[in-house]
Chains A and B, each alone.
Chain A
């Protein structure tokens, strides 16, 4: 077995996603410590041409599986080609994103290779050749360190938890085209619906403004949206308001919604239930607006305003807009 790390790159329409750069950044750091190199694999349709870009981000070799059968991601269609590759090149570790794609592929790899798996990791340490992986468990109520007993280790890396690779000196990389083990998809998409487009994706937003039941009704959520847009961020919600049908599920932050980690998180009319906190607690700065001074959200907030969110939010939006106008 080598000391190399294989990164499973993710792209959409030929453009690499930010998680790909984060995977390459961490893989480069770890591979260097272990005396290995970083390799990457790109799968999809029409991805051949963009593959060489990964050289500049630390990949010494890129495997390309470009096939019409891979146009849409389906775990059971993608997995066989990837499993074959791992068996052949014998990496020490395989890094995937803790994304729908990575979370669907990683257990398939681990099952067929009978290997170690650690999901949604937030830290990685190598010392004397041994590997230690940090990851939140119990929905973030505890932090665990794991040690693989066998290799390869299959790991999915939490989004935004690792520093991305920056474009280096345009290094060359070898490209190898893979034969795609074509299998028929066993699932068929019969319907898709897009939510309003043009908005910032919640997981990637630098600022998230969330509203809870304290906003009194769906008619007041424009206040949340306006502040989010003044700050260049995305709107979020608690489960209580999603369940009440005030906001779409896609906006739900928390244990059964999304985990976000923006630089600024504003919680308005949110009580701060445990299940909400685990989805936003790792934000860099947290602001809470709540009329109840004893609301648990204040325990995690860096700055708090005890008051009526319906009054505070528009004032805050105004103040931010003024600031942005001044430049």
Chain B
């Protein structure tokens, strides 16, 4: 069983960001990490490997030099090897261009099952996963929270409006993850063994994607901080008085009840 997990490196999602000249101010980013949904994707893949040790997990990422650190983290968590597609300008490509590059790479390395995140917590487009499935002609399931394999069938559980459902899809297939149990931390042994794992490096031109596809169809022209919320007022007094005052304000000032 050969599984590909697509990992996108993004700025730490727990830290605030700052905007400068219509861009995220990179000098204020302390830390990059795998997009959280991609960590869930990897955790789902690792749980398949926990049950069947013959499973081979390959991480694939496209981005600038700094992505290596994130890939080493994924290898330390338990993935077997990795492919880095070097591209300093990855953030200027649109989702379709990214999907074409990744699809060309996937075809070269082969797969039975592909995981991506449901969206990257940077441009938040949620474009690349499904597009990759379409370009490879694979059936895809979006928003998985857990995945189990039974022979060559994947059983995927996901949240739907008002409940949960479990779907079956025959492999090869593509799954986008939106949840999992808490992604595991690398063990010391994992960190040591990661250093010996194979990390291939390819470049974008070698994948031969048509230049018309590489032209972005959509471009970001402006970036701002979101409108700030003013912090409001703290209500004083005993609990009963605070509550009475709150209800009065919600009714008379905010007019929401």
Q: List chain A positions with a Cβ less than 8 A from chain B.
A: 75-76, 100, 103-104, 106-108, 110-112, 114-120, 132, 135-150, 153, 186-195, 197, 201, 207, 231, 243, 249-250, 255-256, 263-264, 273-275, 281, 284-287, 293, 298-308, 311-312, 315-316, 319-320, 323
Contacts and interface: CB of A to CB of B under 8 A. Distances in A.
Given A100-B160, A190-B167, 7 more contacts: A110-B96, A111-B131, A138-B13, A192-B165, A264-B257, A303-B254, A323-B257
Interface string B108-139: 00000000000101111111111100110001
Interface string B135-174: 1000111110100000000010001111111111110010
Contact of B247 (A273, A281, A300, A319): A319
Contacts, number: 246
A302 B13 contact: no
Interface of B: 10-11, 13-17, 19, 24, 36-37, 94-96, 99, 119, 121-131, 134-135, 139-143, 145, 155, 159-170, 173, 178-179, 182, 213, 215-227, 229, 231-235, 239-240, 242-244, 246-247, 249-251, 254, 256-257
A148 B95 CA distance: 13
Given A76-B140, A107-B134, A142 B218 contact: no
B224 A142 contact: yes
Q: SS class of chain A's interface: helix, strand, loop or mixed? A: mixed
A100 B96 CA distance: 20
Contacts of A194: 162-163
A265 B123 CA distance: 26
A79 to B, nearest CB: 8
A304 B232 contact: yes
A122 B38 CA distance: 25
Given A107-B130, A187-B167, A312 B243 contact: yes
Contacts of B163: 192-195, 250
Given A148-B217, A189-B167, A142 B239 contact: no
Q: SS class of chain B's interface: helix, strand, loop or mixed? A: mixed
A303 to B, nearest CB: 5
Nearest to A117: B127
B234 A75 contact: no
Nearest to A250: B159
B130 A146 contact: no
A293 B123 CA distance: 34
Contact of A142 (B24, B134, B254): B24
A189 B142 contact: no
A201 B244 contact: no
B143 to A, nearest CB: 7
Nearest to B240: A315
A145 B218 CA distance: 10
B160 to A, nearest CB: 7
Contacts of B161: 100, 201
B213 to A, nearest CB: 7
A186 B229 contact: no
Q: Chain B CB within 10 Å — which of A114, A117, A201, A275 has the most?
A: A117
